[in-house]
Amino acid sequence: MRLNIKLDRSIYYWLISLVNNSVHVEDGFPTGNLTLPTVSITALDIEGVPFELGGTDLSWYFWRIDIFAKNKNQRDDLAYQIFDHVEGNIPVYDYDEGFPPPTPSQIGILIVKKRKLKPIHVFENLVEKLYWRSSITFFTTYQPI
């Protein structure tokens, strides 16, 4: 399995571990009927950045977590909880060994470099069903252990 797939799966299972069982977690932006509350993780861009002489690139991985909630308090609770955890490193596991449970061996970490939390305002007269949203965007670099 490619490293990028392992990063995607690691960040998805990491997000599941942050929220309680009443929160639905989606891998990718949710489509179809939305169960509230829901959080989703989407891999955005991968950018190669020159790191050393000789053509070695360091990859920056860009991510977005979308939060969908029933009310402002629920949205803010989820957003602040997740935003606080995005500050640290995110473990990366070798999913060639299997999927949780049990937890496979850790092969590295995603180091969070920058993060941003933004509420998304929904205009009541333009949507059929009103729900509360926030978006957390951040980028990481991968470091093997």
Give me the residue spans of the domains in the chain: 3-144
- Computed over every residue of the chain, the mean pLDDT equals 89
Q: Which CATH superfamily is domain 3-144 in?
A: Phage tail protein-like (3.30.2000.10)
- What integer is the mean pLDDT of 75-104? 89
Give the global pTM: 0.88
Token pair 């309680």: residue: 20
* 39 within 8 A of 12, measured Cβ to Cβ: no
| pLDDT at 141 (0 to 100) | 93
Q: Which residues contact 66 (CB under 8 A, 6 or more apart)?
A: 29, 30, 39, 40, 42, 133, 134, 135
pLDDT for 54 equals 58
Q: How far is CA 62 from CA 44, 74, 140, 143, in A?
A: 5, 25, 7, 15
